[in-house]
Amino acid sequence: MEDCIFCKIIDGKIPSAKVYEDDNVVSFLDIMPANKGHCLVVPKKHYETLLDIPDGDLANLIKATKKITKALSLSIGNGSFNIIMNNGKIAGQLVSHAHIHIIPRFKGDRLRLTWSHKKYIDQEMKSVQEKIKKFV
């Protein structure tokens, strides 16, 4: 994609602080990190969301994410981390190229990933369950 900032990073047209690269995936530091060490893991092929990524490429993406997460934790000493993937604008995806965020967490970092909790009413949970199961 010509306009995609991540494709430009992958092609070397825009500089980045790469921490990992292989034939399928590239990872670099987020320029607006939630915490220092916040990395993005990006498939080299352009896919918009998780649902667009073929299973083989998704497996490569997840394996690379695990490898980078371990390296991140060993190098900067965070004991915890968040793995986040926003899919679609409503979910907060700002760049329309599938990517995973690895956010290192530290005691007292004051970073909050929260949402308001909702409740099912009557048989609503059962109804939602049945709808989902039809497509699995």
**Does position 105 have pLDDT exceeding 90, yes or no?**
yes
* Per-residue confidence (pLDDT) for residue 79, from 0 to 100: 83
Residue 117 annotated in active site:
no
* Residue 12 in tokens: 């070397």
* Residue 116 in tokens: 């308001």
SS3 105: strand
Please name the CATH architecture into which domain 5-133 falls: 2-Layer Sandwich (3.30)
**Does position 115 have pLDDT exceeding 90, yes or no?**
no
φ/ψ of residue 5, rounded to 5: -65, -35
Identify the active-site residue in 38, 46, 97, 99.
99
Please state, as a whole number, how many other Cβ atoms lie within 10 Å of the Cβ of residue 38: 19
Q: Give the predicted TM-score (pTM) of the model.
A: 0.93
The overall average pLDDT reported for the chain is: 96
Q: Sign of torsion, CA 13 53 34 36? A: negative
DSSP classification of residue 122: T
* Per-residue confidence (pLDDT) for residue 130, from 0 to 100: 97
Q: Could you tell me the residue ranges of all domains in the chain? A: 5-133
Contact, 104 vs 72, CB < 8 A?
Answer: yes
